[in-house]
Amino acid sequence: MRHLSISSKLFSNNRKKLSARLPGKALSVANANDVLPTNADGSLPLHPNSDLFYLSGIEQEESLLVLFPNAANPKHREILFVREPNEHLKIWEGYKHSKEDAQKISGIQTVYWTTDFENIFQLLAAEAEVFYLNDNEHSRASNEVETRDQRFNEKICSDYPLHKIERLAPHLHELRFCKSAEEIKLIKQAIDVTSRGFRKVLRMVKPGVSEYEIEAEWAKEFIRRRSKFAYTPIVASGENACVLHYLQNDQTCKKGQLLLMDVGACYANYNADLTRTIPVSGKFSRRQKQVYSAVLRVLRQSIENATVGKSLKEWQNDSHDMMTEEMLRLKLITQAEVKKQDPDQPACRKYYMHGLGHSMGLDVHDVCNGQYEFKENSVFTVEPGIYLPEEGFGIRLEDDIQITKNGPVNLMSKIPIEAGEIEEIMNR
């Protein structure tokens, strides 16, 4: 693992919270992700399974976690299965966890090799009455490729047809929605790395610089600080900024253009998500600054509106109302269009077509199924934008916030966002 070690107390506490939700004689299983193939004999780097990491801190392929809170044998209430190291793996793939390593990382005392799983699980199944099996149930998940969880679930259902099967994901979604103090600390670390990257980039952007050179500057800063990209970065100059998921990053920045950068660091599997829009030449034009100021006002008011108990739908609708007023002042829409608009498709969505924000944590678009309002210690992005392809630019601004009982806390408050401050840094 590239990041510094994390106290196993984080994972032990997470397991306790999940175990407290499981009924008697219930057994749950969480799997590692697959190592995904590319072409020939190639493969992608393993991205840890968020649920397995949340419960154990384990980031190694083929690992499994079994929780059986009411097992007759106390040693079987928490069991971790990891790949057994051998000389072949050591030569070709390097370090693999020993049992002692796995115990130290996870805080789980009972650790077996994965080759022992079938026999141990059969023993546990004879005692258990219900299996809680996991799957990717994110509301926007695209399950076109069969996952390790899905293959495992199919086998368990086939091998143990008389056992009752329940879904583990809803419980994990609810638990992961609100972050612990240690998780907030890790998110702040990812934000700090992102902030440092942004300040470096501000000093190198100028006409003639390529989008991919800017991406490389971000990558350099992230890697040297034990991090990686939280998602494929968007580095979009000029009209490219109007493509919401622009990923080419291959154009040259030109004088007079704006540059939209949607970039975040991932530290210890916890993510940041930042968007800033800056002037390539170091100074906003009058029109650019007008639109920029409008988006910034909506961002700041939307942050203030993100309070405990506020419904996410109402929060989004409030941003539509604010955007409508801003776009009327900018003469992007007319009062006539507003009067005849469909309430479910307001006129402002012509230039502001995406959601206001999303839950964030171990996943950039973190799990929040069934969560319809802000809760204490949930973490959200706030990212309004206005996109004007006919004028050759788009502006999006994004901060990450923590919802607290005393109001929202902007975790990115120290990252430059005022137009004047950005111009000053770029022109030093």
Would you write out the chain's pLDDT as a tens digit for each of its 428 residues?
789 999 999 999 999 999 999 999 999 999 999 999 999 999 999 999 999 999 999 999 999 999 999 999 999 999 999 999 999 988 898 889 999 999 999 999 999 999 999 999 999 999 999 999 999 999 888 878 899 999 999 999 999 999 999 999 999 999 999 999 999 999 999 999 999 999 999 999 999 999 999 999 999 999 999 999 999 999 999 999 999 999 999 999 999 999 999 999 999 999 999 999 999 999 999 999 999 999 999 999 999 999 999 999 999 999 999 999 999 999 999 999 999 999 889 999 999 999 999 999 999 999 987 789 999 999 999 999 999 999 999 999 999 999 999 999 999 999 999 999 999 999 98
Q: CA 404 to CA 416: how far, in whole Å? A: 23
What is the C-alpha separation between 352 and 355, in angstroms, rounded?
Answer: 8
pLDDT at residue 197, as a whole number: 98
Residue 3 lies in a domain: no
Return the amino acid letter for 230.
A
Prediction pTM value: 0.97
Do 236 and 151 lie in one domain? The reply is no
In a domain, 100, yes or no: yes
Beta bridge partners of 279: 258
Instruction: List the domain range (segments joined by +) for residue 309.
Output: 181-426
Q: What's the pLDDT at 251?
A: 98
Q: From start to end of 214-364, where are the E strands?
A: 228-229, 234-237, 258-263, 265-267, 270-271, 274-279
Whether 193 and 140 share a structural domain: no
Report yes or no: 410 and 399 within 8 Å, Cβ to Cβ. yes
Give the model's pLDDT for residue 369.
78
Residue 382 near residue 357 (C-beta atoms within 8 A): yes
pLDDT on residue 97: 95
Statement to judge: residues 170 and 186 lie in one domain: no
My answer on whether 52 and 114 are in the same domain is: yes
Shared domain check, 194 and 79: no
Closest CA to 215 of 196, 191, 184, 236: 236
Residue 2 lies in a domain: no
**Cα distances (Å, whole numbers) of residue 277 to 220, 265, 291, 304:** 20, 17, 11, 21
- Residues 247, 351: one domain? yes
Cα–Cα dist 308/359, whole Å: 14
Looking at the structure, do residues 44 and 81 belong to the same domain, yes or no?
Answer: yes
**Which CATH number does the domain housing residue 86 bear?**
3.40.350.10
CA angle 246, 251, 257 (to 5 degrees): 90
- In angstroms, the CA 26 to CA 295 distance is 50
> Is 77 part of a structural domain of the chain?
yes
110 assigned to some structural domain: yes
**Terminal Cα-to-Cα distance of the chain (whole angstroms):** 38
In-domain check, residue 194:
yes
Are 281 and 161 in the same domain? no
**Residue 1 resides in a domain:** no
Asked if 371 and 234 sit in the same domain, the reply is: yes
Closest by CA to 394, choosing from 242, 211, 233, is 242
Distance from C-alpha of 121 to C-alpha of 114, rounded to nearest angstrom: 11
User: Which of 176, 197, 216 corresponds to the end of one domain?
Assistant: 176
Q: What is the CATH number of the domain that holds 380?
A: 3.90.230.10
* Amino acid letter for position 39: N
Whether 219 maps to a domain, the answer reads: yes
Domain boundary among 145, 176, 207: 176
How would DSSP label each residue in 287-320? HHHHHHHHHHHHHHHHHHH--TT-BHHHHHHHHH
Query: What is the tally of structural domains in the chain?
Result: 2
Statement to judge: residues 198 and 151 lie in one domain: no
Domain co-membership, 170 together with 314: no
Statement to judge: residues 143 and 193 lie in one domain: no
Domain boundary among 120, 148, 176: 176
